[in-house]
Amino acid sequence: MAGASEPLYLQRNQPPGVPPLALTGERTLPDVPAENYWFQRHLVVYRWIAKRIAGRRVVDLACGEGYGADELASSAASVVGVDANPEAHEHAKLRYRRANLRFERGLIETWEGEAQDIVFLQTIEHVEDPDAVLERLAHQLAPGGALYLSTPNVLTLAPRGAERSGNPWHVREYRPEVFAALCGRHFAHVELKGLFHARKLRAHELALRAGWDAVHRRLGLTGAFYGWFTPAIATGDFRLRDARGAPMGRALDLLAICRA
């Protein structure tokens, strides 16, 4: 448990010798109860990819804290996690230890290497020149490899009617058709999927439409309810769906599987 003097958004219960990271808003973190919604929202995509890269050589670009690279390494032949942030890089090296997993410190724009598959999640919105980065990654993929690329859907991230969210870390944010077009400029085959709420998050979404926000505030239940609800969210409370069978405009996040 966190002590009374510890920041609310500092990682809890880290292994001995592993310095906890503080939540800045630039990346999500595990082990922060108030951040669990976003962590599980990202983790579910890593787990979906992990089932599809078994036995392959993979790089996880902008790997952050390292939890995603560790998830991929549960099935991949080898994983290299790459991140430029020195604190995140040091934390990942100390926290996640597998024989088939290593971490490198580097920029996505200058990383050199080859992989059978590249995972690049929730980062393209931070990139100044996304076309240059995707063109570079297209050349670094081994023949037959795939780039797994995700980004938030601005249509559900931003306030209704706004052109973009207020996230100061985002350089540009994408609508589904703009994201698909970006990928299509660099890859011949692009499969688009959307991430949606499921189970209790879907029920909560429907409750909000019915006026739940006003009810919990009026009854003074906000702290107690979300103090339980948010840490209880799991990967099963999200679902990836194909573009053919779901309205991508309502997706939370967009995932593109790109091949030459």
For a pLDDT cut of 90, what percent of the chain falls above it? 86
- At 246 the pLDDT is 84
**Angle 258-127-85 (CA atoms, 0-180°, nearest 5)?**
105
Domains parsed from the chain with CATH numbers: 33-196+240-259 (3.40.50.150)
Of the pLDDT bands very low, low, confident and very high (cuts 50, 70, 90), residue 5 is: very low
What tens digit of pLDDT does each residue of 31-61 get?
999 999 999 999 999 999 999 999 999 999 9
Q: Tokens 């990682």, residue? A: 11
How far, in Å, are 90, 210, 230 from residue 32 at the CA level?
Answer: 19, 29, 10
Contact present, 64 and 88 (Cβ < 8 Å): yes
Q: Which is more confident, 4 or 80?
A: 80
